[in-house]
Every structure is written in structure tokens, then in C-alpha cells.
């Protein structure tokens, strides 16, 4: 199997254009054409992880946190990033990262936290805007269902929990074929023709535009297909930051903090004043999620679980919500389970290895 086959499956789940502007996801070291028969999964890539891959005779590492966030002007081994890159290159080991694109998809990092905490009624805490588009095109009536159904099959027409959503109306289309054409009806250089058509409008996510266009061109009967895209203002309920859900029943606050510590395997929880006896609505965000605190409060969450809160940011809870900072690494450590699930669902006999090293740079005493 080639490395690009694994990458394609991950990016089908978490498309690269869902990453944040500051991020650098994708293949960072290596050649996508390389053959591979197993992958080492880790939250971070360090020299220790590359050495583990070498010992396991594994030439492919998948991580959550990119090793390369910005450009390098030299690679001399002066820091851990450069040393890790050098070691990987010297041993023909590829490194791939899926970071904020994996954070932002509905089934990604935050959904894994929700799994660990047994949350129900889950939804994105801060859905995105501007990445939904509407395709409009014109189709002869007798070919309408064939074209529309092909676009649905390619992934168009999904809105929230609904699929195969579209709108159409009938009209008359006209065209006059010039010489050297291959018209749908009529003759090259012939008279003006009139066709009963339907205009189709159908929604799609930005990352599918090329695939949808390719499908449209392959099934549409016209030699020249008229089409256009309009950017929509709708929230994309399947893409965004954080997640919010419910416990099946109200739970004593201290008991729930114990559940968090156990299920999220954290040595320390920093939390604000306990002003509520019970918890039921829970907001979560893997990594650094303090920017989502206003959204968690607005949606009346009882507790917000994330990492990397600064001292003064804890005051912003203002007895409206409990903040539980479990640590950056701790909140994202189970991301490697997502990678494994994606790969195993497609390639059942492919070996996915979990690192035995804890890459968390923070220790607790």
C-alpha cells in the first residue's frame, strides 16, 4: 500500500481546507508514493518517536500536532524540530499531521472527548460560516433525475441532518450551435434550438467543489454546461470549534470532576469555583479552547472542559459556568484512536501502532 492511500482516507474524513489559517497540516516529510505496511500513531513527533518508528521498522508516522508550523531557513540540528526532521529523512520515514482539520470536523477530536464522557445530544459549539456553496445549473428535463442523483451520490445536497436537498423549476432554454460543435439536439451550424429544461440548485461544502464539478461534467448531456456557485451564509453544523452535549442525567459536580479525571486520564484538573451542585450540559474543546468560553456560556453549559486557560481567563467564568482545565495533551491524547479507526475502517489488515511514549512536555509533581 502507498502512503498516499492512507492520507486520502484521512483527508476524506478531515479535509485539509478545514484547517485554520495559521496551521500546517498534511504530509511534512517523505514521499506519498512510498510503500508502507504499518503506521505509528502519536500526538506529537519528536526524536524519540522517530527512534521508536525505526525500532519497529515502520516508515510512516501520523501525528495530531504538526512538526513544522513555519518555514525553516536551515536544517542543521540546532533544535528538536530540525533534529527530528533530519532523523526522519536519514531513515526514509514519512511524517503526516492532521491538526485543526481534525479538530473542526464533527467526528473529530471533540467528538472523541464526548465519547469518553458519554455525552448525548452532541453538536458543534461554534459552527463555521462561509464554507457552504450553492451550485446552480440547467438540465434537459429527460436527463434531470440522472444528473441530480449523480450529484447527490457525489456528496452534494447535505444540510445538517438532512441529505439530498435541492430545488428546481422548469423553463425554456435556447441555443444556436455554431460550426464544429456537437450539439445535444440539432445540427452544427444549424438553426436556434429550444429545449425544456430544469434549473437545479443544490448545496455543497467548499471542499467538494472540484469533485461535484467533475461529476456534473461527466453526466451532463450538454457539450457546454452552464453553471455557477453562490457562497451561502448558513452555519455549517458539521464543521467548527468545540462541542456541546448532555449527560444522560444530572450528576453531582464533584463526582463528575472525578469522572473527568479518570476517563480523560489526567493527573490534574484546574477548575473554578463550584457554584452548581450538579452538572448536565457539558461543553468541550480539545487543546487550547479559552476562546470558546463565551459560546459555552451563551449556550448555558454547566461546565467547560478544555486546556491552556491563563490565570486571568478563569475570572471570566463569573459564576456562570465552571471551567475545568485538564491540560492540552490530556484533552487531545485520544486523537490517535481516531486515526486508527479511520484507517481500520478502510484497510482492515493494515497495522496501526500506538506509540508507547508520552510526548507531553509538562509533568506534574
pLDDT tens digit at each of 365 positions of the chain: 999 999 999 999 999 999 999 999 999 999 999 999 999 999 999 999 999 999 999 999 999 999 998 888 899 999 999 999 999 999 999 999 999 999 999 999 999 999 999 999 999 999 998 889 999 999 999 999 999 999 999 999 998 788 999 999 999 999 999 999 999 999 999 999 999 999 999 999 998 999 999 999 999 999 999 999 999 988 888 899 999 999 999 999 999 999 999 999 999 999 999 999 999 999 999 999 999 999 999 999 999 999 999 999 999 999 999 999 999 999 999 999 999 999 999 999 999 999 999 999 999 98
State the residue for C-alpha cell 536519514: 90
* Residues 239, 230 contacting (CB under 8 angstroms): no
326, 305 Cβ separation under 8 angstroms? yes
Among residues 74, 94, 101, 118, the alpha carbon closest in space to that of 27 is found at 94
**pTM of the entire predicted model:** 0.89
Question: Measured over all CA atoms, what is the biggest interatomic distance in the chain, rounded to whole angstroms?
Answer: 86
| Residue (of 152, 145, 153, 155) closest to 198 by Cα position | 145
- Would you state the pLDDT for residue 302? 98
User: What domains appear along the chain, each with residue ranges and CATH number?
Assistant: 3-102+334-354 (3.40.1390.30), 105-126+241-326 (3.40.1390.30), 130-234 (3.30.70.120)
- What pLDDT is attached to residue 75? 93
Amino acid at each position: 500500500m502507498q502512503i498516499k492511500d492512507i492520507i486520502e482516507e484521512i483527508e476524506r474524513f478531515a479535509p485539509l481546507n478545514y484547517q485554520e489559517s495559521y496551521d500546517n497540516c498534511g504530509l511534512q516529510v517523505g514521499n506519498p508514493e512510498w510503500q508502507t505496511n504499518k503506521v505509528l500513531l502519536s500526538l506529537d513527533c519528536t526524536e524519540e518517536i522517530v527512534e521508536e518508528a525505526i525500532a519497529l521498522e515502520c516508515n510512516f508516522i501520523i501525528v495530531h500536532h504538526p512538526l513544522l508550523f513555519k518555514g525553516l531557513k536551515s536544517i542543521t540540528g540546532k533544535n528538536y524540530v530540525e533534529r527530528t526532521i533530519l532523523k526522519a529523512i536519514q531513515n526514509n520515514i514519512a511524517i503526516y499531521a492532521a491538526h485543526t482539520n481534525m479538530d473542526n470536523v464533527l467526528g473529530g477530536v471533540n467528538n472523541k472527548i464526548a465519547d469518553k464522557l458519554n455525552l448525548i445530544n452532541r453538536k458543534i459549539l461554534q459552527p463555521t460560516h462561509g464554507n457552504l456553496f450553492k451550485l446552480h445549473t440547467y438540465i434537459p428535463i429527460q436527463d434531470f433525475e440522472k444528473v441530480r442523483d449523480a450529484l447527490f451520490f457525489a456528496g452534494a445536497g447535505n444540510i445538517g441532518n438532512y441529505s439530498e436537498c435541492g430545488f428546481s423549476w422548469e423553463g425554456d432554454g435556447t441555443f444556436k450551435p455554431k460550426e464544429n460543435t456537437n450539439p445535444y439536439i440539432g445540427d452544427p451550424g444549424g438553426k436556434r434550438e429550444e429545449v425544456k429544461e430544469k434549473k437545479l440548485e443544490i448545496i455543497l461544502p467548499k471542499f467538494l467543489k472540484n469533485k461535484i464539478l467533475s461529476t456534473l461534467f461527466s453526466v451532463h448531456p450538454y457539450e457546454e454546461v452552464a453553471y455557477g456557485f453562490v457562497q451561502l451564509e448558513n452555519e455549517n453544523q458539521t464543521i467548527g470549534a468545540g462541542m456541546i452535549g448532555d449527560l444522560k442525567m444530572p450528576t453531582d459536580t464533584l463526582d463528575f470532576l472525578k469522572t473527568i479525571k479518570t476517563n480523560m486520564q489526567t493527573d490534574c484538573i484546574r477548575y473554578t469555583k463550584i457554584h452548581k451542585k450538579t452538572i448536565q450540559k457539558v461543553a468541550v474543546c480539545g487543546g487550547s479552547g479559552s476562546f470558546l468560553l463565551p459560546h459555552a456560556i451563551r449556550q448555558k453549559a454547566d461546565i467547560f472542559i478544555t486546556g491552556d486557560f491563563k490565570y486571568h481567563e478563569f475570572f471570566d467564568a463569573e459564576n456562570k459556568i465552571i471551567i475545568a482545565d485538564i491540560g492540552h495533551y490530556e484533552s487531545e491524547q485520544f486523537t490517535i484512536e481516531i486515526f486508527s479507526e479511520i484507517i481500520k475502517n478502510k484497510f482492515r489488515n493494515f497495522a496501526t501502532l500506538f506509540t508507547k511514549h508520552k510526548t507531553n512536555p509538562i509533568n506534574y509533581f
